[in-house]
Amino acid sequence: MQTLPGFRDFLPADCASRNYIFDTWRKVARGYGFVEWDGPVLEPTELYRKKSGPEIVDQLFNFVDKGEREVAMRPELTPTLARVVAANERGFKKPLKWFSIGQFFRYEKQQRGRLREHFQLNCDILGEAGPSADVELVALCVDVLRGFGLTEKDFVVRISDRGFWTEFLEQQQVPPENWQAILQAIDKSEREPREKTAVKLGPLADAVFAVFDGGGRSQRLDEVMAALRARGLGEFVEVDVQIVRGLAYYTGVVFEAFDRTGKLRAIAGGGRYDNLVQQLSEGAVSMPALGFAMGDVVLGELIKIVPGATEKMSGAVKAYGNLDAFIIIAKEERRLDALSIVQRLRESGMRVDYSFGAAKVPKQFQAGDEWPQIAMKDLRSGKQELVGQDELVSRVKALLSAEL
């Protein structure tokens, strides 16, 4: 039996790599004042239809459960967030700064950087309409990637403004019902030949290409970029109006993070979605909101191709598997005494192991026959000394602190 297509086994080293990614995500998000939350893996399929339309069902792992309910394994977290916030927003002071790390499922074609399951960091700010929230979210995305040892030479966050394009379409007198198709064509334009994009844009093609070639600007983009430069993050970001994010619910500043080589799909993406909470929850208050998501699969691919990031992760992965101490039981008649020491060390917070069965011990490690002294050996230096039982925990901790 093998894993299903697009799913993964996580052996100990893989789990260590995954935990390193999770730990970095949590550390940076908490440093920005975000608090962690989560929602259910299973939701009503209708929740995703309401957000993304009926075509989303083809990308879902969905089924009818034993209660005759049509349900789906979550492909994303934003609809759940909107539902939860709409039901509980009165109990929280605004703005909300929430993050979550969870597993998500999409029934779609596998390719590099995309599987049918993945883990994802989601960071959202709700209840703040001003550009300071846009700046904060982009800065968080940058600093999350920097947390893995990535630099401005390794990735870039491209920022755009959905409002720029809606104003453009209004000026071109395009009916609102046609906006989404045009925005999707713009969103895909970097990945398709210009001739194919021109067909999709029709009479608007020349005007849109003129914007591409000349660059687009908006007051909000200028404010966001100025604030990011003031925070010393200017080298990590650039304006690119071809980024519009294809989903219809985005309303303002949007952004995506890419590797500088252009070999990988987007590492992260998100933006402002001011109307979604009210749209998904009948009777809910209107609440400004914005967020981004970053998946572990593409991020893992990027870490592998950047030597500094690879080295940093390798060191962290090695540390996950390291013991603080290994107790050698030289004489079987002292096993119970040794297990008492193992317990004391573990209760002090150390990672400790020992041999389950009797095993031969090298001659040089047979010192310390005058119980209750214990022979303690630093396996890095080879230095060995006798230590009293009462001193053992403090001496081991001191040794570990010296290593750091």
Q: Tell me: do 261 and 156 sit in the same domain.
A: yes
Tell me, yes or no, whether 2 lies in a domain: no
Q: How many domains does the chain have?
A: 2
Question: What is the model's pTM?
Answer: 0.86
- Alpha carbon distances (Å) from 224 to 182, 237, 316, 337: 25, 10, 34, 64
Domain termination site, one of 317, 349, 383: 317
The rounded average pLDDT for each run of 10 residues, N- to C-terminus, in the chain (404 residues) is 93 95 98 98 93 86 96 95 89 94 94 93 96 97 98 97 89 88 87 90 90 83 96 96 81 95 94 86 81 97 96 91 84 88 93 83 45 71 78 80 64
Domain termination site, one of 317, 334, 364: 317
pLDDT at 116: 96
Q: Tell me: do 233 and 249 sit in the same domain.
A: yes
Domain termination site, one of 302, 317, 332: 317
Tell me, yes or no, whether 64 lies in a domain: no
- Alpha carbon distances (Å) from 87 to 42, 260, 277: 18, 41, 10
Q: For 319-330, what is each residue's pLDDT tens digit?
A: 887 888 888 887
CB-CB neighbours of 273 under 10 Å:
27
Between CA 325 and CA 346 the distance in angstroms is 10
CATH number (domain holding residue 381): 3.40.50.800
Tell me, yes or no, whether 60 lies in a domain: no
Between CA 48 and CA 168 the distance in angstroms is 29
Q: Tell me: do 226 and 347 sit in the same domain.
A: no
Q: Tell me: do 171 and 249 sit in the same domain.
A: yes
Contact criterion met (CB below 8 Å) for 386 and 397: no
Between CA 345 and CA 351 the distance in angstroms is 8
Contact criterion met (CB below 8 Å) for 330 and 349: no
Q: Tell me: do 335 and 305 sit in the same domain.
A: no
Tell me, yes or no, whether 44 lies in a domain: no
Q: Tell me: do 274 and 333 sit in the same domain.
A: no
Among residues 85, 75, 89, 88, the alpha carbon closest in space to that of 47 is found at: 75
pLDDT at 124: 98
296 CB-near residues (< 8 Å, 6+ apart): 18, 21, 118, 119, 120
pLDDT at 370: 45
| Domain range enclosing 130 | 12-39+77-317
Tell me, yes or no, whether 59 lies in a domain: no
Tell me, yes or no, whether 46 lies in a domain: no
Q: Tell me: do 379 and 302 sit in the same domain.
A: no
Q: Tell me: do 236 and 331 sit in the same domain.
A: no
Q: Tell me: do 245 and 369 sit in the same domain.
A: no
Tell me, yes or no, whether 130 lies in a domain: yes
pLDDT at 34: 98
Tell me, yes or no, whether 263 lies in a domain: yes
Q: Tell me: do 307 and 336 sit in the same domain.
A: no
The whole-angstrom distance between residue 96's C-alpha and the CA centroid of its chain comes to: 19
